[in-house]
Structure 1
Amino acid sequence: MNETALELLDAKPLLKELRKREFRWPVLGNVLGADVQWDEEKFDLLHTLAQIRTQHSKSVLVRLYVSPDDKNSQRYIIKLDQASLVLSREDYITNTTEAQANREALLRLMVDVPVMLGAPEEAAEQQMKPVVCLSLWPRKSRNMYNKYSLSKLQRTIPEFNWLSFVRASIDSKLYPDLSISSSEHTIVRVPQYMKDLFKLLNVTDSRTVANYVVWRSVLSRITTLSRRFLYRYLDFARVTTGTTSLTPRWDKCVNYIEGTLMYATGRLFVDKHFQEDKKHMMEELIEGIRWAFIDMLEKENDWMDAETKKKAIQKAHAVLAKVGYPEFILNDTYINEDIKRLSFSEKDYFGNVMQTLRFISQADIGWLRKNVPRTEWFTNPTTVNAFYSSSTNQIRFPAGELQKPFFWGLDYPRSLSYGAIGVIVGHELTHGFDNNGRKYDKDGNLDQWWSNASIASFNDKTQCMIDQYNTYHWKEAGLNVQ
């Protein structure tokens, strides 16, 4: 990264992006010229949302993605969900001093950023005040499985053209043979949210809607600009999250490359830092933890009925353990093919980020209608974390996690690794049987395989823990744990 060039460019790369018709921002007025002002008659919410997803890899209002079908875990399907907010709504809506400070910090950021891009402050304040309400949209409780054809979804929520939205979210140059029709099936995570959302949008001034939608995209881009934008965002984060300093540029770059080019960077990491004996030892350790888990399930579990316990044991045996890295990253041809569309420049940090966003925004689309490769996995090998996947009934331990102090290797007593990484293995294994994982069977399909009696017993046992922790009092805050 050429930081001098980045400072000289300042906001120019973002302003260039905002000249595009789909990203024009009402609050900027004629900052970019009279010929590129936002035009209410030409504003197309559907197209803007789709282009923000495909060009910026950002979901605003509606999240569209491709992942395994919950009731047919062998096939990929389109899913629609509520998009995330800037922060949790609960951080803003209460009447506490903290919530009031968060609301004020959010509004000031929403005003200051367009002003920093050239907008008049009075106009920015006037236009962005009503946008705050859209920023605090409540999250709805999820119904796990609501399958619709696009035609049925259109009849259910007619205020939005769902078929056009899905089509517009797919890069036809990348996937010329991927044809989407009204019979395409989707899973809608929160139908009530979608219904309420488009009813609200239909009675909301389109300028406010456009200001909100583009604002969310701009917000995700300001940390790729010059330092004056970084420090302005830091002021906001200092209030809302307690952050007190900027992340060094080199740290941001490394993390960004790890997150976007994860197989290429994972290959470099594995070649240099991962030994095969770690993989074999870890696989042996996992089998030891699995045996102990099943032994406890058989001998110590006194609240599950016999049939549920039998299925639990079957699921525990079926959990697929993945260690280190997916084998395909050792294939040079695969890695090169994966990233051949990318070309980076030291002088164009913003451009580098934008092309990787376009790259990753379409990565999941290519899996649509394909079979889920249950024995494969797609976690970044450099990740220092572990995971459980309910749809594939996998536990995953990337190479980055298999380092000290979690994993000690053959030169140390096995007890050290059992006490460190073993705890994590047990933790991930139990995710297959917690209040979410228990909803999926041994094959990763959404299925109530617990009896109602076992569910009631489980809830009774957990209530005991809830009651215990609710009694813990934090004197300085004057609050109990919830």
Structure 2
Amino acid sequence: MNDTALEIVDAKPLLKNLKLKEFRWPVLGDALGFSSRWVESQFNLLETLAQIRSQHSKSVLIRLYVSPDDKNSNQYIIKLDQAFLSLSSREDYITNTTEAQMYREALLRLMVDVSVMLGANEQDAEAQMKPVLDFEIKLAQIVIPYENRTSENMYNKYSLSKLQRTVPDFNWLGFVRAVIDTELYPDLKISSSEQVIVRAPQYFKDLFKLINATETRTVANYVIWRSVFSRITTLSRRFLYRYLDLARVTTGTTSLTPRWDKCVNYVENTLIYATGRLFVDKHFQEDKKHMMEELINGIRWAFIDILEKENDWMDKETKRKATEKAHAVLAKVGYPDFILNDTYINEDLKQLAFTETDYFGNVMQTLKFIAQSDIGWLRKTVPRTEWFTNPTTVNAFYSSSTNQIRFPAGELQKPFFWGLDYPRSLSYGAIGVIVGHELTHGFDNNGRKYDKDGNLDQWWSNSSITRFTEKTQCMIDQYNSYHWKEAGLNVQ
């Protein structure tokens, strides 16, 4: 780690980025030179959003990504959705609890201070960033709440031309084309007939009403702020300490993560197959894989046994289909086999050319690399037997679109997994409960909506759905009654 070099360059790499036409920040005024100032007549929201998505792997206002079609899970499709906010929770913007107000005040202070640290006049920063926070509060009000984002509500298949007619205030075809790197994918042609899944139609309608009712300067300040916000932690220590002030309020964090720790985690989470290969070579033995597969089959057998013998609310035909789905759940253990192929790993990484003297540039390279990685799956068939999870992850997953349960190598370590030298009961008690948890996701209030092939399809009978809903209502009522006095909120 060359901390000295990072301190010397300070914010220069980011400032260089902010001189580019798409990334000029109104609040900076002439701080970067007269020729680099923001000019309203030159601001193009579409180009800026597309550049942030394709170059920085960041979604602002509109989230675009490629994943399997929920009703045709063999095929990849473009999905359009609402984007995340600066603070982690929608409630942090729309409630007036003491904590939420503190979060908003801390965020505004950070917005002002960072813009000043990058050259803005303090009075201008105060005057311009308050409307930006107000704009984000209004955004939070139109964001679809988590509890309303059901699989059925979010499945709206449109052609881009239909979406254009539905939400005419934005050039949707132009946006999708602008996000795709034509140098990487010269043969990927997008027309107005391209089918997309619009996961939040009402949000998009409300979004452009809000944008049209907001000063262009405020919209531009917000969009570029979100880009800057995501890059603060790649700068010098004065920016890290300023970011810590926000984290101290919102999460209780009291100290900076060591730079070496951040770098190791960043590499691990961006170059997932290269680092996963190194981890597997050093820490994963094949006997773990075989033992885990045996354990999964034991849990599957127990699940089906309970389903058939103890489930008294599911009708016979739905129970039969549930049993079929449980048998069809594909268990993936350890790592995807392709990471053992040196040629594949080298081909995956050949776009990247890191240098020890350019930390910011290295980060931006990986972001661009990640931003385009999902785009390459468009037009391809979903490899149902493959999986794309970081092998070093200490977690487990269920995928509704492939009906898979996944247990990366990172999860198959003590204290979760105990290996052949210990009684099997230890592993059943530690990771067995996790296997059961992931398997059950295929039959919960979301997973049950997908069939054994991973397609969004109502395979439960109406009577089983009714009885399931009745049985879950008691749990909903129980949790809704829990009140957090300090926050003035009930659990939802």
Letter in 2 for 1:66: V
1:272 paired to 2:282: yes
Q: Partner residue of 1:452? A: 462
* 2:263 aligned to which of 218, 229, 253: 253
1:18 paired to 2:18: yes
Letter in 2 for 1:313: T
Task: Name the count of aligned residue pairs.
Answer: 482
SS for the counterpart of 2:373 is: coil
Letter in 1 for 2:13: P
1:218 paired to 2:228: yes
Structure 1 position 381, deviation (Å)? 0.3
More deviation, 91-100/332-341 = 91-100
Distance in 2 separating the partners of 1:9 and 1:480: 48
Cα distance change of structure 1 residues 463 and 5 upon mapping to structure 2, 3 Å threshold:
same
1:239 paired to 2:249: yes
Q: Partner residue of 2:40? A: 40
1:408-454 CA-to-partner distances (Å, cap 9, x unmatched) read 00000000000000000000000000011011000000001111211
SS for the counterpart of 1:388 is: strand
Distance in 2 separating the partners of 1:11 and 1:31: 13
Q: Partner residue of 2:453? A: 443
Distance in 1 separating the partners of 2:394 and 2:62: 30
Letter in 2 for 1:275: Q
SS for the counterpart of 1:379 is: coil
Letter in 2 for 1:54: S
Distance in 2 separating the partners of 1:4 and 1:115: 23
Letter in 2 for 1:23: F
Identity of aligned residues (%): 83
Q: Partner residue of 1:379? A: 389
Structure 1 position 460, deviation (Å)? 1.3
1:317-342 CA-to-partner distances (Å, cap 9, x unmatched) read 00000000000000000000000111
* 2:355 aligned to which of 339, 342, 345: 345
Q: Partner residue of 1:120? A: 121
Structure 1 position 245, deviation (Å)? 1.2
Structure 1 position 479, deviation (Å)? 7.0
SS for the counterpart of 1:288 is: helix
Distance in 2 separating the partners of 1:120 and 1:411: 65
1:49-87 CA-to-partner distances (Å, cap 9, x unmatched) read 000001110000000000000000000000000000112
Q: Partner residue of 1:192? A: 202
More deviation, 126-135/358-367 = 126-135
More deviation, 200-209/410-419 = 200-209
Cα distance change of structure 1 residues 38 and 471 upon mapping to structure 2, 3 Å threshold:
closer
1:104-155 CA-to-partner distances (Å, cap 9, x unmatched) read 1111111111100011000011111111122221321432210000111111
Cα distance change of structure 1 residues 35 and 478 upon mapping to structure 2, 3 Å threshold:
closer
CA contact (8 A) 2:99 2:487 kept: no
Distance in 2 separating the partners of 1:477 and 1:59: 30
More deviation, 128-137/295-304 = 128-137
Distance in 1 separating the partners of 2:398 and 2:68: 15
Instruction: Map 1:279-290 onto structure 2 (within 5 A).
Output: 279-290=289-300
Question: Structure 1: any 5+ residue segments left out of the alignment?
Answer: none
Structure 1 position 94, deviation (Å)? 1.8
Distance in 1 separating the partners of 2:115 and 2:284: 47
Cα distance change of structure 1 residues 175 and 231 upon mapping to structure 2, 3 Å threshold:
same
1:400 paired to 2:410: yes
1:130 paired to 2:140: no
Cα distance change of structure 1 residues 217 and 478 upon mapping to structure 2, 3 Å threshold:
closer
Structure 1 position 269, deviation (Å)? 0.4
Distance in 1 separating the partners of 2:484 and 2:164: 50
Distance in 2 separating the partners of 1:473 and 1:351: 47
Distance in 2 separating the partners of 1:255 and 1:298: 44
Structure 1 position 280, deviation (Å)? 0.2
Letter in 2 for 1:96: T
SS for the counterpart of 1:433 is: coil
Q: Partner residue of 2:330? A: 320
Distance in 2 separating the partners of 1:433 and 1:287: 17
Question: Structure 2: any 5+ residue segments left out of the alignment?
Answer: none
* 1:301 aligned to which of 303, 311, 318: 311
Distance in 1 separating the partners of 2:111 and 2:238: 15
Distance in 2 separating the partners of 1:168 and 1:64: 11
Letter in 2 for 1:93: I
Q: Over aligned residues, Cα RMSD in angstroms?
A: 1.3
SS for the counterpart of 1:130 is: helix
1:89 paired to 2:99: no
- State the TM-score, normalized to the length of structure 2: 0.96
Instruction: Map 1:91-170 onto structure 2 (within 5 A).
Output: 91-136=92-137, 137-138=139-140, 139-140=143-144, 141-142=148-149, 143-170=153-180
SS for the counterpart of 2:391 is: coil
SS for the counterpart of 1:176 is: coil
Letter in 2 for 1:467: D
Distance in 2 separating the partners of 1:435 and 1:468: 17
Structure 1 position 353, deviation (Å)? 0.3
Distance in 1 separating the partners of 2:487 and 2:54: 45
- State the TM-score, normalized to the length of structure 1: 0.98
Structure 1 position 470, deviation (Å)? 4.5
CA contact (8 A) 2:419 2:427 kept: yes
CA contact (8 A) 2:97 2:488 kept: no
Distance in 2 separating the partners of 1:279 and 1:122: 61
Letter in 1 for 2:353: S
Letter in 1 for 2:250: T
* Structure 1 consecutive aligned stretches of length 4 or more whose deviation exceeds 4 Å: 470-482
Structure 1 position 475, deviation (Å)? 7.7
Distance in 2 separating the partners of 1:39 and 1:206: 10
CA contact (8 A) 2:82 2:200 kept: yes
Cα distance change of structure 1 residues 471 and 62 upon mapping to structure 2, 3 Å threshold:
closer
SS for the counterpart of 2:414 is: coil
1:354 paired to 2:355: no
SS for the counterpart of 1:245 is: coil
Distance in 2 separating the partners of 1:310 and 1:220: 48
Letter in 1 for 2:160: L
Structure 1 position 284, deviation (Å)? 0.3
SS for the counterpart of 1:242 is: coil
More deviation, 30-39/97-106 = 97-106
1:450-471 CA-to-partner distances (Å, cap 9, x unmatched) read 1121111111111222333445
Distance in 2 separating the partners of 1:438 and 1:126: 50
Structure 1 position 473, deviation (Å)? 6.3
Structure 1 position 202, deviation (Å)? 1.5
Structure 1 position 91, deviation (Å)? 1.3
Q: Partner residue of 1:80? A: 80
Distance in 2 separating the partners of 1:476 and 1:241: 16
